[in-house]
Structure 1
Amino acid sequence: MTACPPGAETRWPALYVKARDDGDRSARTKAFDAMATGVWELAAAAWRETEVLLWKPPGAWFSVNAFYTSAGLRNWYVNFEHPTHRTPCGFDTFDLVVDLVVHPDLTGWQWKDEDEYAHVRRLGIITDTEHQAVDIARGQVLAMLAERSGPFADAAAWSAWRWDPAWPAPRLPRPEEAAGRSAPAGG
């Protein structure tokens, strides 16, 4: 479990940050094209707009995120990603592009970014092995939703959670402390 408020420090691929900040979805394609080279620049960014509570089982190829606004739980968001590993700078994972957006009351859901997922598959950013892991993870998540297991087992408690304003926003080590990093093998 981890949590993140607006203002928390993050690092994302620089072109992705530019696409987000400019609101230009076509810039995401350029970010994926750059990522296909296997080397990219990480840029400092800040988490915005929502509080998030994240549940990630060890070794899982997904995380379940609950996004909150001032009105309460906005939605559940399942992010398909590499298993998380701890580093001297915090936690690393690698987003595998496709996501599942789930209604706050768990009554419906829809896949997100399937077109981009197909694009990064064509570019080779996501290997066949990773694609197989995503397919297995999709089945695991849909089963958790159907069974109301994992974080969905106690959705009411999750809905009531909020970031305590007295807690400081997370900060990352300075870039010089993280020097020498490169893209992870396989994507």
Structure 2
Amino acid sequence: MRRDVYRERVWTAMPHRVLADGGDTLDLAYWPGITSLAPTAWIASLTTDAEANRRQCLADLAAGTWTLDPHRWTGTALRSTFLEGEHFSVHRFQNAASGEPVRWYVNFELPFRRTASGIDTMDLAVDLVATPDLSAHHWKDEEEYAQVRRLGVVDDHLHAEVERARERALGMLQDRVGPFAEPWRAWAPDPSWPDPLLPEGAGRA
């Protein structure tokens, strides 16, 4: 289970299947049909007034007033690589039906901490998105990052860590090292695998 935890409260909880655990790297899989816990305002942003709901979502985060609801994942399958001590993780999104690569996605977050049920981290809003062949990339959610800075969710010390992490992640992408060293390989969940389930108490930090 990968959770986002802020001020000792669970922000998200997502069950995954472990593909490999090398100690300092952790490879996880996630696919359509898996049910997670997510903030109510974020779920609403998927269908109605996305921008306003996402702003409200971050305001709720800063105020500690969010609520969680179940959310069923659809559309894409992804493989995720978490690197010990890094303020980012790397994800490969692909069409779940065809297997066609969709995008690389670098999620900036707190370094993961292992728990009895998986790992805890905390999303830091800004992201780096790249094409499957890594020939082009762009930054995503800069406005949301500016909002969490204004709200105090990301203070000056953490901002400095994020800036260093952005340089490292972009350097890895451009140099084709770390998670970007291997070419994109066709992948699909084994049909015999059951959908990962959240353990009891997943929403309690």
Give the alignment's TM-score, normalised by structure 1. Answer: 0.86
Q: Output the amino acid matched with 2:93.
A: F
Over 3 Å counting, the alpha-carbon distance change for 1:38 and 1:165 in structure 2 is: same
Alignment of 1:108-119 (within 5 A): 108-119=136-147
2:46 equivalent in structure 1:
20
Q: Please say if residues 99 and 187 of structure 2, whose CA atoms lie closer than 8 Å, have aligned partners that are also in contact.
A: no
Which residue in 2 is equivalent to 1:42? 68
Cα contact 1:68–1:162 (8 A) shared by 2:
no
Give unpaired runs (5+ residues) of structure 2: 1-26
Tell me which of 90, 111, 114 is aligned to 1:64.
90
Conserved? CA contact 1:72–1:159, under 8 Å = no
**Cα distance, 1:22–1:173 mapped onto 2, change above 3 Å:** farther
How high is the sequence identity, in percent, across the aligned residues? 42
RMSD of equivalent CA atoms: 1.7
Question: Comparing both structures, which one devotes a greater share of its residues to helix?
Answer: 1
| Aligned residue among 151, 154, 174 for 1:126 | 154
Moved over 6 A (4+): none
Whole-angstrom CA distance in 1 between matches of 2:152 and 2:119: 24
AA in 2 matched with 1:112: K
SS at 2:63's partner residue? coil
Alpha-carbon deviations, 1:109-136, whole Å to 9, x = none? Answer: 0001111111111111111122111111
The match for 1:83 is 111
The letter of the residue matching 1:29 is R
- Once residues 77 and 98 of structure 1 are traced to their aligned partners in structure 2, the CA distance between those partners, rounded to angstroms, is 11
Q: Would you tell me which structure has more strand in proportion to its own residues?
A: 2
Deviations 1:113-167 (A, max 9, x none): 1111111111111111221111111111111012110121112xx3322222221
Whether 2:182 is the aligned partner of 1:154: answer yes
Shift of residue 14 of structure 1?
Answer: 2.2
1:52 aligns with 2:78: yes
- Look up the equivalent residue of 1:16 and give its one-letter code: W
Equivalence for 2:58: 32
Residue of 167, 172, 184 corresponding to 2:198: 172
How many angstroms does 1:179 deviate by?
6.0
Q: Distance in 2 between matches of 1:137 and 1:71?
A: 30
Matched with 2:170 is 142
Q: CA deviation at 1:59?
A: 1.7
Q: Give TM-score, length-normalised by structure 2.
A: 0.79
Gaps (5+ residues) in structure 1? 182-187
